[in-house]
Amino acid sequence: MDTLTDRQQEILDFIRERIEGDGVPPSLAEIAQAFRFADPSSAQHFVAALEAKGALRREPGKRRNLRLVNEDGRSASRPGRRVPLVGRVAAGLPILAQENIERSVLLDPDMFRARADFALRVQGDSMRDAGILDGDWVIVARSAEARSGQIVVARLDEEVTLKRFKRNRGSIELWPENPAYPVLRVDPRKHAFAIEGILVGLLRGSRA
């Protein structure tokens, strides 16, 4: 790799920190904002220079396509993303409140089909027939919306639950995957309801 100027090194370090911290590289607009450039074209100029010097490579077909380059000239593999492990959620507290977080775990971003934001420990066997067992960790992407049929982490009144989300003629139902448990039918006139995230992966309890 050719020698970098001080500013090029600062921008490369920023890109590396964002990849290591977020699991994805920054956009040109984010680089421009971080370095107070007038517009993203200035960031594009520096990125092009880093490419020319062999420090970066673009990955075709991806929106955030910057990749670091190893000394051997190959693209560096994507770093893991550290996500919080949430144990029992205390009633009334946000899921990611510090009181609920037991520790964090480094996840391989290529293991899951979407960005992982947190892992929630499963308590009970209501999702047993979906292969989700007591003590497992479900990997969740934060989202306030879901399609009918997706498994979601939802807040119903003061409790957080993992269920299959279904819309039935305009009503909302939360289905267990175990016939021993009842379907939860959400009446917005009686219940406070919100989707907290969508299931994107699973870790057995012993692997977290």
- Domain range annotation of the chain: 6-68, 81-207
What is the three-class DSSP state of 40? helix
**94: which DSSP letter?**
-
Residue range 9-36: average pLDDT? 85
Here the tokens at position 58 are: 């673009």
CA distance 180 to 160: 19
Tokens at residue 171, please?
């009503």
- At 3 the pLDDT is 85
* Position 150, amino acid: Q
Q: Does residue 15 register a pLDDT over 50?
A: yes
Active site residue 163: yes
pTM here is 0.61
Mean pLDDT on 128-156: 92
**pLDDT higher than threshold 80 for residue 184:** yes
Find the catalytic residue in 126, 143, 171, 206: 126
pLDDT in tens, 145-176: 999 999 999 999 888 999 999 988 778 999 99
Angle at 50 between CA 48 and CA 51, to 5 degrees: 65
pLDDT tens by residue, 30-63: 999 999 998 889 999 999 999 999 889 887 776 6
Q: Is pLDDT larger for residue 10 or for residue 171?
A: 10
Q: What is the CATH number of domain 6-68?
A: 1.10.10.10
Q: How far apart are CA 107 and CA 129, in angstroms?
A: 25
Please report the pLDDT score of residue 73 as a whole number: 46
Averaged confidence pLDDT in the chain: 84
Active site residue 166: no
Cα separation of 66 and 14, whole Å? 12
Which of 62, 163, 190, 206 is catalytic? The answer is 163
The CATH number that domain 81-207 falls under is: 2.10.109.10
Give residue 19's pLDDT band: very low, low, confident or very high (50, 70, 90).
confident
Residue 154: the pLDDT is 94
Mean pLDDT of 11-25: 79
